[in-house]
């Protein structure tokens, strides 16, 4: 599958058309041996949208670069006429009456919806395993985890089934699977898009994001999700940009290849003029202490949302690993929860002041994708690997950051590594502009 920009160029040159691309996309998905990537297809909708896009392009009035582009949605987003399963078997089968707000925005830009993709049940794991719909296999190793919770979104793009997919990120659920599958993953600032029609996990931390082959494609999708047809975002080279590299937490238990590829990328950025600064971010250590003493925000809010399910008969039909982790929220008191919420406000302000106009860089995840089978057989190992994968990205969610995960190479087994660029809340355009300029250097081997 080509990138969005490549497909748009072919549409403009009349070298192909949206109907042909939609038919090829649906055929490619149907022929894929990994049946766990998609939870449902929408061929009638896809072909109707493709035909409309083809007419507009043929008449010289395309809606923009996304007109006719195949897109897939994590199964947390409402699609009119379909149930929203959220990776589970316990939710109502009542079809959604209308598209989620961001789905409607992309449809208005001409994007072609081909279906919904798989995910961890209720978006509550960074590994991507799902016993109900199956576990999508990592695009670079069929024995490896895809990452979660937006597992199907990442694998669908990495395997070339669609040029773009949309996911959610509460603790790393866009950036982690993007990193493990070797593609770009953009996590927006929480609140950047309308959340109507998106099944929640944490009202405080939930954000949306884009999976794509390039940052340029992510910029296009981000704009359309906000109702902007033609984004005007400059490519900012790294020269003169201050990149802060934390020395605490994020490199703990980091695999040698992950660190080596990260440092090589930082050296290339420094040679291009980036101003590299290293030091501790005190908030990182305090976040760890707060979570240990009081419990995590996501744990409290997820339990509040799912209490009736995990304490009732429905729990028997849930992934037991998800249900047991959700029940941990019962231990968190209102006093504990508020202590973390109030401390979060202070830590965001302190860290933003420390960063100023700079950005943060560290490995997206400290390890490459681990094998699936041992994690399915050993719950202790599962929980340890899950915590390890979520650790770096979760810091950004707590501190209200936006982030872009960029492929940085691979280990000796060919499993991808990634570098995460992050910025304070609301600096999405500045971050994406920088990511556009840094991407070639981070990817360089």
What ranges in 226-360 are assigned the alpha helix state H? 256-271, 282-294, 297-310, 320-327, 334-355
Among the listed residues 98, 11, 113, the one whose alpha carbon sits nearest the alpha carbon of residue 63: 11
What's the order of all strands across the beta sheet hosting 242-246?
Answer: 38-41, 112-117, 70-74, 164-169, 207-212, 184-187, 402-410, 416-423, 359-363, 242-246, 275-279
Residue written as token pair 């149907």: 30
DSSP 80: B
What is the spatial distance between Cα 95 and Cα 105, in angstroms, rounded to a whole number?
A: 20
Q: Give the separation between CA 65 and CA 252, rounded to whole angstroms.
A: 42
How big is the CA angle at 224 (ends 420 and 215), to the nearest 5 degrees? Answer: 30
CA dist 157 and 88 (Å) reads: 22
CA 424, CA 401: separation in Å to the nearest integer? 5
The secondary structure of residue 360, as a DSSP letter, is: E
Cα–Cα–Cα angle for 385, 421, 120, nearest 5°? 35
* Catalytic residue set: 74, 149, 173
Q: What is the dihedral of CA 211, 214, 217, 221, to 10 degrees?
A: 30
Non-local CB neighbours of 46 within 8 Å, separated by 6+ positions: 22, 25, 26, 70, 112, 113, 114, 115
Residue count of the chain:
445
């Amino acid at each position: 599958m080509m990138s969005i920009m490549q497909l748009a160029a072919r549409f403009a040159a009349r070298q192909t058309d949206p109907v042909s691309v939609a038919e090829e996309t649906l055929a490619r998905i149907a022929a894929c041996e990994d049946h766990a990537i998609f939870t449902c297809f929408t061929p009638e909708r896809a072909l109707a949208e493709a035909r409309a896009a083809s007419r507009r392009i043929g008449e010289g009035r395309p809606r923009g670069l996304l007109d006719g582009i195949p897109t897939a949605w994590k199964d947390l987003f409402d699609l009119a006429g379909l149930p929203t399963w959220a990776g589970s078997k316990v939710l109502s089968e009542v079809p959604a009456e209308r598209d989620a707000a961001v789905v409607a925005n992309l449809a208005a830009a001409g994007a072609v919806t081909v279906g919904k993709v798989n995910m961890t049940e209720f978006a509550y794991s960074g590994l991507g395993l799902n016993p109900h719909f199956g576990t999508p296999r990592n695009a670079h190793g069929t024995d490896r985890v895809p990452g979660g919770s937006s597992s199907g979104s990442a694998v669908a793009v990495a395997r070339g089934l669609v040029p773009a997919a949309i996911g959610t990120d509460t603790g790393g659920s866009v950036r982690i699977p993007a990193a493990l599958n070797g593609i770009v993953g953009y996590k927006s600032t929480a609140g950047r898009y309308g959340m109507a029609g998106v099944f929640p996990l944490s009202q405080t931390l939930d954000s949306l994001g884009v999976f794509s082959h390039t940052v340029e494609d992510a910029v296009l999708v981000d704009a359309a999700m906000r109702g902007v047809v033609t984004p005007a975002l400059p490519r900012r080279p790294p020269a003169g940009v201050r990149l802060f590299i934390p020395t605490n937490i994020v490199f703990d238990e980091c695999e040698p290849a992950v660190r080596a590829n990260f440092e090589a990328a930082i050296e290339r950025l420094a040679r291009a003029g980036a101003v590299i600064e290293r030091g501790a971010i005190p908030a990182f250590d305090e976040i760890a202490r707060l979570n240990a003493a009081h419990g995590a925000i996501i744990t409290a809010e997820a339990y509040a949302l799912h209490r009736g399910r995990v304490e009732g008969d429905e729990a028997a039909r849930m992934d037991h690993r998800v249900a047991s982790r959700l029940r941990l929220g019962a231990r968190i008191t209102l006093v504990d929860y508020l202590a973390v919420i109030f401390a979060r406000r202070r830590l965001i302000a302190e860290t933003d002041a420390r960063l100023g106009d700079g950005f943060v860089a560290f490995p997206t995840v400290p390890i490459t994708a681990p094998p699936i089978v041992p994690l399915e057989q050993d719950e202790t190992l599962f929980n340890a690997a899950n915590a390890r994968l979520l650790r770096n990205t979760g810091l950004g969610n707590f501190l209200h950051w936006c982030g872009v995960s960029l492929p940085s190479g691979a280990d000796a087994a060919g499993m991808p590594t990634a570098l995460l660029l992050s910025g304070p809340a609301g600096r999405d355009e500045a971050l994406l502009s920088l990511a556009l300029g840094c991407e070639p250097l981070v990817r360089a081997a």
